[in-house]
């Protein structure tokens, strides 16, 4: 039964991400500037129990708690970096929706450049091959050419 419901959830999950998490004005910070910052930080953090949803989007209990934590830290006057670092220290890099650049993620981050460069290089080499002068005629072909020229 769990599998069925899982498959089912996957099937509909093309669109179905649970409704916008924030569902009470009580969750908002009174200061609009701070609230905006909280939302920006929240969008970077993954709800750990959901499928690739940020804590701002998810309405799971955990996401609600994490939203609260982020807002508390903001009110305590911490910087965005400090808050994200606090989260990473506690939950690991898994919580960051945009992974940090390091040895293991280098391939991931460099992919846009790699893909483009490899594409350009392969197009260029094929093009060079295409533009190459045709091979000189071999003996048989020369004879045939002469024959044809004579005929005409």
- Tokens found for residue 78: 């911490």
Q: Single out the segment in contact with other proteins by CB under 8 A; choices: 64-72, 81-89, 108-116, 136-144.
A: 108-116
Rounded least distance, CB 6 to other proteins, Å: 6
Rounded least distance, CB 149 to other proteins, Å: 25
86 binds other proteins (CB under 8 A): no
Q: Is 86 exposed, middle or buried (0-12, 13-18, 19+ CB in 10 A)?
A: middle
Q: Which residues pair with residue 54 across a beta bridge? A: 46
Q: Single out the segment in contact with other proteins by CB under 8 A; choices: 46-54, 70-78, 80-88, 140-148.
A: 46-54
116 binds other proteins (CB under 8 A): yes
CA-to-CA distance for 67 and 45, rounded, in angstroms? 10
Contacts of residue 44, Cβ cutoff 8 Å, sequence gap at least 6: 54, 84, 96, 97, 98
Rounded least distance, CB 65 to other proteins, Å: 18
Give the helix/strand (H/E) hosting 44: helix 32-44
The residues that touch other proteins, with contacts defined as CB under 8 A, are: 2-4, 6-8, 10-20, 22-26, 28, 43-44, 46, 51-54, 57, 92-99, 104-105, 107-109, 111-112, 115-116, 119-120, 123, 127, 130-131
């Amino acid at each position: 039964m769990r599998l069925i419901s899982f498959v089912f959830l996957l099937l509909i999950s093309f669109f179905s991400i649970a409704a916008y998490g924030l569902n009470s004005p009580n969750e908002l910070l009174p200061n609009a500037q701070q609230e905006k910052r909280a939302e920006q930080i929240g969008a970077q953090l993954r709800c750990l129990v959901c499928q690739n949803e940020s804590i701002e989007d998810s309405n799971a209990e955990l996401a609600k708690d994490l939203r609260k934590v982020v807002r508390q830290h903001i009110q305590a006057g911490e910087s965005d970096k400090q808050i994200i670092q606090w989260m990473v220290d506690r939950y690991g890099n898994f919580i960051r929706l945009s992974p940090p650049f390091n040895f293991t993620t280098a391939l991931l981050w460099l992919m846009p450049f790699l893909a483009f460069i490899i594409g350009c290089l392969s197009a260029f080499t094929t093009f060079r091959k295409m533009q190459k002068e045709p091979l000189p005629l071999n003996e048989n072909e020369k004879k045939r050419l002469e024959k044809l020229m004579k005929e005409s």
